[in-house]
């Protein structure tokens, strides 16, 4: 279910949900939940099941229950678009969770920050903390290790008999790590690792360190 790693002398735990736990800070980091996306697409005629709306909140509850953090940091794209009926579900979730919440705003976060302020959710453009840059868009900045999202990274793995499987992943390079999208129905983008990159693929039940020979350079279709 989890895999503990070291980044610049700090302990982090990767969770199969796509969440990242900073052990020293007791901080849960989550990227690209895209709340409201399911309601948005249903409003425009997409045939998505009623229960799908609640899956993101169930995943959030499970991650919080597992780690028991002291603070939650969303690395952007918490909401997919404008307000819809999922805002009330989010309000109920915030009130029930009773933890400090920081949102590092992403490109999809267009809801008026006052709405978050009313929930005592702090909204920032980025956060520099103990040598780490917490931001939505991947970037390399001198002297800092970046934790970000936005890309919805995935890896294409090759198997026996010319079979391929595409899995979301934590994509780590020497100066940054891109978190997988946490939300349901978010989609993924296949990245091809370079020599010094490290891939941690996630399944529904596990986090797995991927070896270079397992990675297919064949583009996903």
Binning pLDDT at 50, 70 and 90, where does residue 40 land?
Answer: low
Residue with the bigger pLDDT between 172 and 47: it is 172
pLDDT tens digits, 180-195: 999 987 889 999 999 9
Question: Which pLDDT score, from 0 to 100, does residue 120 have?
Answer: 97
pLDDT tens digits, 52-96: 678 899 999 999 999 999 999 999 999 976 677 889 999 999 999
Contact 179, 148 (CB under 8 A): yes
Tokens of 75: 């690395």
Contact 37, 80 (CB under 8 A): yes
pLDDT for 1 beyond 50: yes
Cα dihedral 180/183/187/193 (nearest 10): 0
Domain boundaries, the chain: 2-151+171-184
- Hey, what CATH topology would domain 2-151+171-184 get? Purple Acid Phosphatase; chain A, domain 2 (3.60.21)
Residue with the bigger pLDDT between 20 and 213: it is 20
Bridge partners for 202 per DSSP: 207
Q: What is the pTM of this model?
A: 0.91
pLDDT tens digits, 103-152: 999 998 989 999 999 999 999 999 999 999 999 999 999 999 999 999 99
């Amino acid at each position: 279910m989890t895999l503990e790693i070291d980044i610049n002398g700090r302990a982090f735990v990767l969770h199969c949900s796509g969440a990242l736990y900073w052990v020293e800070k007791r901080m849960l980091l989550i990227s690209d939940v895209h709340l409201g996306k399911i309601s948005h697409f249903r409003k425009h005629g997409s045939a998505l099941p009623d229960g799908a709306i609640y899956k993101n909140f169930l995943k959030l509850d499970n991650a919080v229950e597992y780690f028991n953090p002291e603070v939650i940091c969303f690395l952007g794209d918490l909401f997919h678009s404008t307000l819809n009926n999922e805002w009330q579900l989010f309000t109920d979730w915030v009130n029930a969770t009773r933890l400090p919440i920081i949102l590092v705003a992403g490109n999809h976060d267009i809801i008026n920050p006052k709405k978050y302020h009313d929930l005592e959710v702090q909204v920032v453009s980025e956060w520099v903390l103990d040598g780490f840059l917490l931001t939505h868009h991947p970037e390399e900045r001198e002297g800092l290790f970046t934790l970000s999202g936005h890309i919805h990274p995935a890896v294409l793995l090759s198997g026996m008999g010319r079979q391929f499987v595409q899995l979301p992943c934590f994509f780590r390079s020497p100066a940054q790590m891109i978190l997988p999208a946490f939300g349901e129905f978010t989609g993924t983008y296949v990245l091809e690792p370079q020599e010094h990159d490290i891939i941690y693929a996630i399944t529904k039940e596990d986090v797995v360190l991927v070896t270079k020979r397992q990675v297919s350079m064949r583009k996903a279709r």
